[in-house]
A and B are shown apart, each in its own frame.
Chain A
Amino acid sequence: QKEVEQDPGPLSVPEGAIVSLNCTYSNSAFQYFMWYRQYSRKGPELLMYTYSSGNKEDGRFTAQVDKSSKYISLFIRDSQPSDSATYLCAMSGTGNTPLVFGKGTRLSVIA
Chain B
Amino acid sequence: ETGVTQTPRHLVMGMTNKKSLKCEQHLGHNAMYWYKQSAKKPLELMFVYSLEERVENNSVPSRFSPECPNSSHLFLHLHTLQPEDSALYLCASSRKKGGSNTEAFFGQGTRLTVV
Contacts and interface: CB of A to CB of B under 8 A. Distances in A.
A55 B11 CA distance: 41
Interface residues of A, number: 25
B59 interface: no
A95 interface: yes
A90 B104 contact: yes
A99 B100 contact: no
B100 A93 contact: yes
Interface size class of B (residues with CB under 8 A): 20 to 34
A97 B105 contact: no
Interface on chain B toward A: helix, strand, loop, or mixed SS?
strand
Given A98-B33, A102-B42, A46 B103 contact: yes
B97 to A, nearest CB: 9
B109 interface: yes
Contacts of A101: 42-43
B100 A43 contact: no
Given A41-B111, A46-B106, A96-B101, 6 more contacts: A43-B107, A44-B90, A45-B2, A46-B105, A98-B101, A103-B41
23 contacts: A32-B102, A32-B103, A36-B106, A41-B109, A42-B108, A43-B6, A43-B90, A43-B107, A44-B43, A45-B2, A45-B106, A46-B105, A49-B103, A92-B101, A96-B50, A96-B56, A98-B45, A98-B56, A98-B101, A98-B104, A99-B94, A102-B42, A104-B42
